[in-house]
Structure 1
């Protein structure tokens, strides 16, 4: 039976949940049902939202708003055809209801038709004065389309509607950063701060823009204002620490990182930065302590294992260095930098087979730097595979066709292999580029046994006569 109003619970949600536990039927206004359903959707309780829609439509079968919420649930559950059919029905009843266009745009977006979604959202704008949500949705669609300029404009409108909408503010700055328009971001944030001078989020973001521009003094001031606005703002202390590191003020940086740890539970990133500061201060024991704290806090943070690797590499403790670089590789085996470091360590240990394998992995993963080809070739030569070293340098020459380091080293290795014809061609190619022979020492120093040989002198003599 339906209860009288004075017998019902005061709050719609409490009343609704009470009704579900009994056989009683309570009457709700359509607006109450909308509030109930929104509450459950916002908390991810879809089954309760669906119950609210079902009962709501039983009591208010002509409510377009409740049917639109039904569409929202259908879209969420990928019932695309049903959602489209219901929207078609609703559009015949009310062709100027902006929510119909919004829900249809959600459908298009779910189907990756972001251009269509934008068109529908723009149509929705013509039917409403309260366009905050629509501009927010437009911004997200533009992000999906990688149109960061239009996304930025949409999110700026959201901030104009509500200057406390930090989510949109973050998105505005994200767009500025992606466009690498740091000056634009600085201007925008300064204008925002004129109206909101105690907004710690804006000061924090402004400091980051100055940091990107290497304007460290201005960045420090911005982070200080963020801390004044909120003295428990961990992000501001952390970013301030990074600026102080850049300025070589390592003790002050450590103080800021330690502040983040005192405010909240310690993080691996804070430990890592403290460790790096102590390393710069040449306090190796403290650096080592904090690096180990880093990986204790987060064993899957590969940068922590890399920091320990680098520390032992500098100390020439290569056995420990190779142990820890393998820890990093077990976490991120697709990182060419880690493989290159692994190759260097194994070279130092004279584990040339492992170094060869590591350099191959680095190149396969996209490391085509000049020194990678040169050092890989050296490893192969040291391992008695000079012909393979020549082949590696030939691959490197495709990327660096005018590299005298590659050419002179190739000529030397070809001589070692007694490939006199190709060595002559390679050496002549190098001399054509090195007209004044200022880099000839790359050949004569590395391959001193050939530096003053008759073979070399004849080539140099002939080249000097023809040049």
Structure 2
């Protein structure tokens, strides 16, 4: 390979992009490695956030290699970075025509993310499903699908299928369950929130932190419902019982009762 390209590759690896470009500019158009120099130059210019010039190079490369999917994808990203969303979507349609949907799950999920950023949630969901067809246990794809379904305002049954899968894959890991917990919280499904928090008790998340999380959740529900829990002849109620009382009020309108002999009122 051309010695200037070899030097450019080394500078590129060291993130010395300006130096890399200087070497690439020394590669003449009739050199057998000239096209490779254009590919590397386009990538460097994108790293340098010169999306317009990077786009120009991909537009030069694509007619020579019209079936090279990665060129079309990089062209899409250039349009997106230039806030040319309509052009980005048009280019993505070409990617959709060329791309093999049965391999490279990471690439398929990246395209789902790109469709999502462009506001095309239906295609974002389609590519998320392509990804899950390859790997049904790909956690990131399930998280993405949950978010996409939320933006599409899909029904609870469809979202619950995704949530159940995320819970299954999480093994009680708190951070893995956080997106599910937030979704349940925003939809005011408080009882499911408690169930999810209880799943964390079998994880490495220590019991003290679980109690803190439940306490924060109790405060959130109280403020959201604009109510207080008053106790008669007692100054304390276990956090699980206090949460159950608030959730019974939210779900059933039950504003008083006894828990383990402790009379309470919700006002």
Task: Give the TM-score, by structure 1 length.
Answer: 0.40
Per the alignment, do residues 236 and 392 of structure 1 end up closer, same or farther by CA in structure 2, a change over 3 Å counting?
A: farther
Alignment of 1:144-159 (within 5 A): none
Report the Cα offset of residue 385 of structure 1: 4.9
2: distance between equivalents of 1:214 and 1:237? 17
Report the Cα offset of residue 242 of structure 1: 1.6
Q: Deviations over 1:303-349 (max 9, x none)?
A: 66545533443354544432342233334444322221101112232
Q: Which one of 295, 301, 304 corresponds to residue 96 of structure 2?
A: 295
2: distance between equivalents of 1:362 and 1:237? 43
Report the Cα offset of residue 246 of structure 1: 1.4
Q: Which one of 303, 313, 320 corresponds to residue 116 of structure 2?
A: 313
Per the alignment, do residues 263 and 333 of structure 1 end up closer, same or farther by CA in structure 2, a change over 3 Å counting?
A: same
Report the Cα offset of residue 272 of structure 1: 0.4
1: distance between equivalents of 2:113 and 2:38? 26
Q: Which one of 230, 235, 238 corresponds to residue 421 of structure 1?
A: 238
Structure with a larger share of its residues in strand: 2
The question of 1:273 aligning with 2:90 is answered no
Alignment of 1:131-146 (within 5 A): none
Instruction: Check the 8 A contact 2:62/2:71 in 1, yes or no.
Output: yes
Which shifted more, 212-221 or 382-391?
Answer: 382-391
Structure with a larger share of its residues in helix: 1
2: distance between equivalents of 1:239 and 1:279? 20
Q: Which residue of 2 aligns with 1:126?
A: none
Alignment of 1:310-459 (within 5 A): 310-348=113-151, 349-359=153-163, 361-362=165-166, 372-382=176-186, 385-393=189-197, 398=203, 409-414=213-218, 420-422=237-239
Report the Cα offset of residue 269 of structure 1: 0.5
Per the alignment, do residues 333 and 208 of structure 1 end up closer, same or farther by CA in structure 2, a change over 3 Å counting?
A: farther
Higher relative contact order (Cα pairs below 8 Å, separated by 6+ residues): 2
RMSD: 4.2
Q: Secondary structure at the match of 2:67?
A: coil
1: distance between equivalents of 2:31 and 2:170? 44
Task: Give the TM-score, by structure 2 length.
Answer: 0.64
1: distance between equivalents of 2:41 and 2:172? 35
Task: Count how many residue pairs are aligned between Structure 1 and Structure 2.
Answer: 226
